[in-house]
């Protein structure tokens, strides 16, 4: 197992190098000069332009710029944002917990509903339940997030007033953000009702962000289950009179989980990087909006640093998924 883990870890290095280079190159390939964008309609004199070019180090050859960036990265320095002038590292860690909290909740929501839905659909293949669940999944998968979010807000926050419109917690609560995870911080604050308020604020964004992964997981679980249910050993299990619940829940599901775990792993990556719309609508202070804003402003350090951090996290998630394969299926780790 250790060897398996080690070999997975080794593939990390070239990927990391590649990502560093690509994230550095990506933003520079886009047209648009950050200094000109910063000056806006006002414009600036040639001398001033020259001065700023030197200040930002754009006058250096590109390989020197890359080398400076790369050695910075190795020392844990991602540079300072052109716009806010603050370290990219600090900004990332101020915002990332919000994204992580929302993504985890969305994932839990998707898995808790998606797995049983997939299993039920597979077991009832071709029947009403199957059709109903899978058409709902298709609708969920095709739903434009923006529209879906506004619909939920108008119905549940506007008309019914069950949930708050946006934000992470009611503004009357105020406590220092020790961990950045609102659920934990609100509990730790000991303020009455704070935790509940945080939970209520999480509800709609969780549903919105979890809808697509939910649909994907349900469909994936169904097809993996169907495949496994046709295997000989399942027939054997049935023949020897095992209870259907035990066959489906233990023998079939465990083997069907491999492709499902892959999908979950991939979805986590998408969630972390792709929560931008959900974050924007629900005024959720995460990294999605931060990244998109920085691309428009040509804020090189934020774009390259943010991309790198997201890539590293996705790589870590994939590593975890690889290790999980080994746990689920002993055959894989012995290969």
Partner 1 sequence: MKLKSYLAAGATALALCAGSASAQALVYCSEGSPEGFDPALYTAGTTFDASSHPIYNRLTEFKVGTTEVIPGLAESWEVSDDGMTVTFKLRQGVKFHSNDSFTPTRDFNADDVIFSFDRQGNPDHPFHTVSGGTWEYYGGMSMPELVKSIEKVDDYTVQFNLTRPEAPFIANMAMDFASIVSAEYAEAMMDAGTPEMVNQAPIGTGPFKFQAYQKDAVIRYLRNDDYWGEPAKVEALIFAITPDASVRYQKVQAGECHVMAYPNPADIEEMKSNEDIVVMEQEGLNVGYLAYNTTMPPYDNPKVRKALNMAIDKQAIIDVVFQGSGQIAKNPIPPTMWSYNDSIEDDPYDPEAAKAMLAEEGVTDLNMKIWAMPVQRPYNPNARRMAELMQEDFAKIGVTVEIVSYEWGEYLSRSRALDRDGAILLGWTGDNGDPDNFLAVLLGCDGRENSNRAQWCHEPFEELIQKAKVLPTQAERAPLYEEAQVIFKEQAPWATIAHSVVYMTMRPEVDGYVVHPLGGHIFNQVGLSN
Of how many residues is the chain composed? 335
Element (H, E) at 155: none
Closest distance to partner 1 from the beta carbon of 269 (Å)? 22
Nearer to partner 1, 55 or 71 (CB): 55
Nearer to partner 1, 53 or 329 (CB): 53
Nearer to partner 1, 174 or 233 (CB): 174
Closest distance to partner 1 from the beta carbon of 60 (Å)? 17
Nearer to partner 1, 84 or 223 (CB): 84
Closest distance to partner 1 from the beta carbon of 24 (Å)? 19
The string over 188-204, giving b where at least 16 C-beta atoms fall within 10 Å of a residue's C-beta and e elsewhere, is ebeeeebbebbeebbbb
Element (H, E) at 255: helix 253-274
Q: Which residues bind partner 1 (CB under 8 A)?
A: 30-34, 36-45, 48, 52, 55, 80, 82-86, 91, 94-95, 98, 150, 153-154, 157-158, 161, 164-168, 171-178, 189, 191, 280-286, 289-290, 296, 298
Nearer to partner 1, 256 or 273 (CB): 273
Closest distance to partner 1 from the beta carbon of 117 (Å)? 30
Closest distance to partner 1 from the beta carbon of 280 (Å)? 5
Beta bridge partner(s), residue 80: 87
Say how far apart CA 293 and CA 36 lie, in whole Å: 16
Say how far apart CA 309 and CA 302 lie, in whole Å: 10
Name the residue with tokens 């806010």. 84
Nearer to partner 1, 3 or 42 (CB): 42
Closest distance to partner 1 from the beta carbon of 190 (Å)? 8
Say how far apart CA 72 and CA 87 lie, in whole Å: 12
Question: DSSP H helical segments within 230-329, as ranges?
Answer: 232-239, 244-246, 253-274, 276-281, 287-296, 300-328
What lies within 8 Å, CB to CB, of 297 at 6+ separation is: 34, 37, 38, 82, 83
Nearer to partner 1, 91 or 322 (CB): 91
Helix (H, G, I), strand (E, B) or coil at 78: coil
Nearer to partner 1, 59 or 231 (CB): 59
Helix (H, G, I), strand (E, B) or coil at 323: helix
Closest distance to partner 1 from the beta carbon of 25 (Å)? 17
End-to-end CA distance of the chain: 10
The string over 272-303, giving b where at least 16 C-beta atoms fall within 10 Å of a residue's C-beta and e elsewhere, is bbbbbbbbbbbebbbbbbbbbebbebbbbbbb
Closest distance to partner 1 from the beta carbon of 327 (Å)? 37
């Amino acid at each position: 197992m250790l060897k398996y883990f080690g070999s997975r870890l080794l593939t990390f290095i070239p990927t990391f190098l590649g990502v560093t280079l690509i994230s550095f190159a990506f933003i520079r390939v886009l047209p648009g000069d950050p200094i000109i964008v910063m000056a806006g309609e006002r414009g600036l004199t040639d001398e001033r332009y020259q001065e700023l070019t030197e200040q930002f180090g754009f006058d250096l050859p590109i390989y020197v710029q890359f080398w400076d960036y790369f050695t910075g990265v190795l020392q844990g320095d991602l540079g300072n944002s052109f716009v806010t002038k603050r370290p990219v590292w600090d900004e990332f860690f101020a915002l990332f917990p919000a994204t992580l909290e929302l993504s985890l909740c969305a994932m839990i929501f998707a898995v808790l509903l998606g797995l049983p839905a997939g299993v039920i659909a597979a077991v009832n293949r071709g029947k009403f339940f199957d059709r109903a669940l899978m058409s709902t999944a298709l609708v969920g998968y095709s739903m434009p997030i923006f529209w879906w979010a506004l619909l939920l807000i108008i119905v549940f926050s506007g008309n019914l007033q069950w949930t708050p419109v946006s934000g992470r917690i009611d503004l009357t609560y105020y406590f220092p953000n020790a961990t950045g995870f609102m659920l934990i911080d609100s509990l730790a604050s000991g303020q009455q009702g704070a935790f509940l308020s945080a939970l209520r604020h999480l509800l709609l964004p969780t549903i919105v962000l979890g809808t697509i992964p939910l649909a994907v997981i349900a469909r994936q679980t169904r097809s993996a289950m169907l495949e496994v249910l046709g295997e000989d050993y399942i027939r054997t299990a049935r023949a020897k009179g095992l209870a259907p619940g035990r066959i489906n829940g233990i023998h079939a599901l465990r083997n069907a989980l491999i492709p499902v775990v892959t999908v979950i792993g991939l979805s986590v990556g998408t969630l972390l990087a792709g929560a931008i719309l959900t974050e924007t609508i629900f005024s959720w202070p995460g990294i999605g909006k931060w990244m998109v804003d920085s691309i428009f402003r040509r804020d090189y350090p934020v774009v390259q640093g943010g991309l790198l951090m997201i890539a590293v996290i996705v790589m870590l998630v994939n590593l975890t998924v690889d290790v999980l394969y080994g746990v689920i299926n002993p055959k894989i780790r012995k290969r």
